[in-house]
């Protein structure tokens, strides 16, 4: 599959650098783009994002509300809530170090009750990526997967 990088960059509003790491192609361009980006001021605004639907969004919002009085820095609360629902160990450890004891059981119960949310979030994220990628393919070939003998 080949992607039209310019079109993809315009919808994502970030540089898209074509590379073929196995052939060492484009790596210099990637390093230059990273260097340029590291020297630029980051502008925030309306970005493309995954639409989670009301049920999943409600679950994420509820987790975020449980985190309301917890310092999740350097991460935004909404992102930390999603990562907790996904079972992210690093975020889980960070939150457990900072959560008051009276809130810990509430959070643990909520996460246990909402374990299926991790699959929902991952599924919706992959569907979003597939939707974006399908818009910017150069060659729209239908095909399957092939196994090659080594």
Q: Do 77 and 98 reside in the same domain of the chain?
A: yes
Q: Is residue 101 part of a domain?
A: yes
Q: Where are the alpha helices (DSSP H) in the chain?
A: 5-12, 27-38, 53-66, 77-85, 89-98, 101-113, 117-135
pLDDT tens-digit series, residues 82-96 = 999 999 999 999 999
pLDDT tens per residue, range 96-129: 999 998 899 999 999 999 999 889 888 888 888 8
Domain-located, residue 147:
no
Contact 67, 95 (CB under 8 A): yes
> Measured in Å, how far apart are the chain's first and last C-alpha atoms?
22
Q: Is 0.85 surpassed by the pTM of this model?
A: no
Give residue 22's domain range.
5-47
CB-based contacts of 95, cutoff 8 Å, min separation 6? 67, 70, 72, 80, 84, 107
């Amino acid at each position: 599959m080949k992607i039209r990088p310019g079109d993809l960059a315009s919808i994502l509003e970030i540089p898209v650098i074509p590379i073929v790491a196995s052939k060492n192609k484009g790596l210099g361009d990637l390093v230059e783009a990273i260097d340029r980006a590291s020297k630029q001021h980051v502008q925030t605004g309306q970005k493309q994002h995954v639409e989670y639907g009301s049920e999943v969004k409600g679950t994420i919002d509820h987790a975020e509300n449980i985190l309301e009085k917890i310092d999740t820095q350097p991460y935004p609360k909404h992102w930390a809530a999603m990562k907790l629902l996904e079972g992210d160990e690093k975020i889980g450890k960070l939150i457990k170090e900072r959560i008051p004891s009276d809130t810990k059981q509430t959070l643990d119960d909520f996460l246990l009750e909402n374990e299926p949310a991790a699959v929902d979030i991952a599924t919706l994220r992959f569907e979003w990526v597939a939707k974006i990628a399908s818009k910017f393919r150069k060659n729209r070939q239908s095909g399957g997967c092939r196994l090659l003998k080594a």
